[in-house]
Amino acid sequence: MAADLLPLSSPRRVLLQARLYLYRRSLSTNLASPPDDSPTKDEEEIKEGRGVEKGRWLALPPFAAPPVDPSSLAKKMMFCGGGYPAGCSGDDYTTTALKWVRRCCPDLPATLVHKLFRLRQVRKNVASSTISYMDSHAEKMQSKRVSAKNAMMPGDVILLPATVQKSIVGKFDDASGEDDMKYMRSIELYRDTTIIVLNKPPSMPVQGGIGIKYSIDALASISLKYEYAESPRLVHRLDRDSSGVLVLARNQFCASILHSLFREKTTGASFNDIKSASRVLQRKYLALVIGIPRHSKGLISAPLAKVIQEDGKAERITIADDMKSASAQHALTEYKVIESFPHGYTWLELCPLTGRKHQLRVHCAEVLRTPIVGDYKYGWKSHRRWKPVPFPPTIDVEKFPRNKLPFGLKSGGGSIAEKQPWLHLHCKQMTLPNISAALEHPQSLNDDDRHLSKLEKLSFVAPLPTHMQQSWDILSS
């Protein structure tokens, strides 16, 4: 018998009735923001099961299947006109219990969500037909434990321990001022009903974590929500010290489509269907590298793998020796030399055809042998011999802004004129399908691909950050 089935003894029946009463009271409770990353008393209750035994449950919204399968729609956008690449189908979209919890609770730390599933503290309400004491059939709700990979069906209700309810009111009190909100909105490049596009500043992380007070996702939920019920959601990443075009989805359904678009871009490139994948969704980066590549342009095809450092904590990405290795991931990057200089520097245009962690930095450092300026993780040897390039007298240094920025962001300095330059990697342009236009008639998308073949594309261009603009001017003088 399952551990959560109760005998029909009178005391246990009373306990069940009490738990059902507490559960009904919890149905009207809205989920607040999560606790800090540090362990709390409530998190200890979750671990020990005390919060569960007390019958305190928090019900998430009932699962409802979207009118359009976001994964299939993304595949149609990526491969319309040419069909799916071999080994890739359009009907593999499934919403698991883990995905649903993450969508309903985007502010809940991922580590805590995985812990809840691992400790079997997540349940799902299911309807069961019973016979009452008057011999009439009735339907009642029973909860049973659910694993992270269990598929969600329409009407399913996920239950979490009520101890996950923690308010973060006050955590970002100093980030909710009018000036700070004005700054966040000043870096907007574009906004429509489905997405918000930002020009991410360097040194700002996109996602929170231990020791991170401010991040794009946390600040966007305060400053960029506007009149929407849901907070903007991350759909891809930029390294903390890089800058440029960053796309946020305005609700979970659009986030699912965009997640699938970025995933299919990588999958399509991995299936050697590079042309169709790069045409529909394309990112162009500008990087200043140390050295001059042997060829003016080319395609880098080098698998990447994660390596744990000797201390057992830090990790780095490196070129995989064996593609059959468990951690090896196929990675493709197109590159083109924009201009090389006598100083020994080169401006490169980089187009990642796959989306691997630190892909551009590793491909530049280990394949082209030209590490990116300011990349001390993968180009530390080149930076040991670093010599600043002074500003020429023709450049007015005072023209560059040195205003103090909010959220502890760097301001002033960082160019090749400094002893310690910042990372010179900037996502300058992104092209993607107009999802807002595609969703104007969502029902027709399931049956008619002609609409998608004519779907317009949006292109966003992000101005260079100050330190890269200074380096550009220095080398161009």
Strands 243-249 and 425-433: parallel
Could you confirm whether 239 is annotated as catalytic?
Answer: yes
Work out whether strand 157-161 and strand 243-249 pair parallel, antiparallel, or are unpaired: unpaired
- What single letter denotes the amino acid at residue 394? T
CB atoms under 10 Å from CB of 24, counted, come to 12
Tokens describing residue 384:
């040991």
How far apart, in Å, are the Cα atoms of 90 and each of 93, 264, 453? 8, 11, 16
Residue keyed to tokens 């400094």: 418
Spot the catalytic one: 69, 156, 180, 239: 239
**Closest listed residue to residue 188, CA positions, set 250, 134, 111, 100:** 250
CA distance 274 to 253: 27
465 within 8 A of 427, measured Cβ to Cβ? no
Show contacts of 44-49: CB within 8 Å, 24+ apart: 45/161, 45/163, 46/115, 46/116, 46/119, 46/121, 46/161, 46/163, 46/164, 47/115, 47/119, 49/119, 49/121
Distances (CA, A) of 1 to 5, 7, 450: 7, 10, 54
Whose CA is closest to 162, among 35, 19, 18, 26? 26
Q: Which residues are catalytic?
A: 239
